[in-house]
Amino acid sequence: MSKSTDEQVNRRDFMKTAIIAIGGVIGGAIGLPAIPYLIGPAQKQDSEDWVRLGAVSKVELNVPTLFKTTIETQTGWINAEEEFSVYVLTENGQDYSVMSNICTHLGCRVRWIPDQESFFCPCHNAVFAKDGTVVAGPPPRPLDQFEYKVEDGFIFVKRG
């Protein structure tokens, strides 16, 4: 009698263990690989490279000059062309400052308004000075600067 109840309990315990074990194996075998699978694209570093903007001779003295280029990007399974715009400023024709046109507040695009001698951001009315410093509005820091180099009369910036 007692033997058979023992057996009952063992059977039940066996099933319980088996279900937990199988569940654990399935959960582990899928759950663990799922983590890198899900965060993979976020881990991928954007590649750094030098982007050719154009002839340095196009940069006007003392006026932020807009350079627009398209660059090839690969996002996921799609190869696309992306617009890339920066403002280049020089005061002496020797030293340049290459500024991003991306507002440091929340990422809208800023525009140089010649009449006002300032950059404006339409999203929350930010104003930046010619050199990129914040004059008014919510942006927390000046416009970002890019590393640049001049070679054979062309100006390049480092992106990434």
Partner 1 sequence: MAANLMNWLDERLGWRSVWEAIFLRKVPHVNWFYTLGSATLFLAVTQGITGILLTLYYVPDPAHAYDSVVYITTQLPMGWFIRGLHHWGASAMVILTVAHLLRVFFLGAYKYPREITWITGVFLLLIVIGFGFTGYLLPWDQKAYWATTVGTRIIGVAPGIGEWLLRVARGGSELSAVTLARFFGTHVWILPASLLTLLGVHLYLVIRIGISAVPEKDE
Binding residues for partner 1, rule: CB under 8 A, are 12, 22, 26, 29-30, 33-34, 36-38, 40-41, 43, 76-78
Nearer to ligand FES, 54 or 123 (CB): 123
- Selected from 85, 97, 131, 137, the binder of ligand FES by CB under 6 A is 137
E strands in 36-153: 49-55, 65-75, 78-90, 96-100, 111-113, 118-121, 126-128, 134-136, 145-146, 148-151
103 binds, among ligand FES, partner 1, none (CB under 5 to 8 A by kind): ligand FES
- Selected from 97, 138, 142, 159, the binder of ligand FES by CB under 6 A is 138
Q: Which stretch binds ligand FES (CB under 6 A): 30-38, 44-52, 67-75, 122-130?
A: 122-130
CA atoms within 13 A on the CB side of 110: 36
Round to whole Å and give the CA distance between 19 and 24: 8
Q: How far is the CB of 160 from partner 1 (least distance, A)?
A: 19
Nearer to partner 1, 26 or 61 (CB): 26
SS (H, E, C) 38-61: HHHHHHCCCCCEEEEEEEHHHCCE
Round to whole Å and give the CA distance between 105 and 121: 9
The answer to the question of residue 134 lying near ligand FES (CB under 6 A) is no
Within 10 angstroms of residue 17's Cβ, the number of other Cβ atoms is 10
The answer to the question of residue 130 lying near ligand FES (CB under 6 A) is no
Within 10 angstroms of residue 137's Cβ, the number of other Cβ atoms is 15
Give the residues lining the site for ligand FES (CB under 6 A). 103, 105-108, 121, 123-124, 126, 137-139
